[in-house]
Amino acid sequence: MISIRLLAVTLMLAMPAVAVAGPLVVRAAGPSAPQFRPGMRLPDTPLTLKAGDSIVVLDARGTRSFSGPGTFSLAAPSAAAGEVAFSDLLVQKPARRARIGAVRAGGQDQGPPTPPGVWTLDIRASDTVCVLDPTSIALWRADTAAAQSLRIARDDGASGTVSFAAGQATAALPAAVAGRAGTLTISGGKSVVTLTIKQVTAAADVGALGIALVEAGCQSQFERLAANTLQN
């Protein structure tokens, strides 16, 4: 009669080998860029880049960048620690400003202003956005020159008003329309903006949080997560 231990070993040997998944692509440039779409998962094998190639990846260690030509180990330990403690990334408040354009190739294009942290919601354009806690949401505007009041309507008919004072960039989502995922329509600005809010759960590490944002369709926040965890 086959012992339980022998049976377990036999089953383990019969199971197909599963490759360990590697980091997520944040962005890529150069001749090989079409092979690396943002959000795709790379195999945890050496990465070969051609001359002119550059790629930014995100995994449990944070965000790292590589430039070709050369072959690089994605599993190798990072030389520097991440810019932000992971616990800070799970605090849903505008406590830290991302390094604007920090992960752009060449370091010359600083890009437009972005909201602080990962969870503050940008109200400049319609988007799919993620939150950890739908009862505590901060909204962000880029132009703070003048005071502004905006009407916010939720898809179930609830509505409220958010007011920004001159010089104020962030404001809390009114309690009347906070509290659950769904669609918010924001009017009173230059154009009507629709935010589709999805709730995600706290992840175990940066890479898992990146996967949650990508799977939920929150691409802009995925990029901000990468900017906040860029390795030096």
Q: In angstroms, rounded to a whole number, what is the distance separating the alpha carbons of residues 79 and 56? A: 15
DSSP labels, 137-175: -EEE-S--SS-EEEEEEETTS-EEEEEE-TT--EEEPPT
Contact 163, 149 (CB under 8 A): yes
Class of domain 118-221: mainly beta
**What is the pLDDT tens value at each position of the chain, 232 positions in all?**
444 333 333 333 333 333 346 788 888 889 998 999 888 888 888 889 999 898 888 888 778 888 988 898 887 655 443 445 666 777 776 433 333 333 333 444 456 788 988 999 999 999 999 999 999 999 999 999 999 999 999 999 999 999 999 999 999 999 999 999 999 999 999 899 999 999 999 887 888 899 999 999 999 999 999 888 876 4
Range list for CATH 2.60.40 in the chain: 118-221
Q: Which amino acid is at 126?
A: S
Contact of 59 with 48, CB cutoff 8 Å: no
DSSP state of 108: -
Cα–Cα distance between 35 and 179 in angstroms, integer?
40
pTM, to two decimals: 0.71
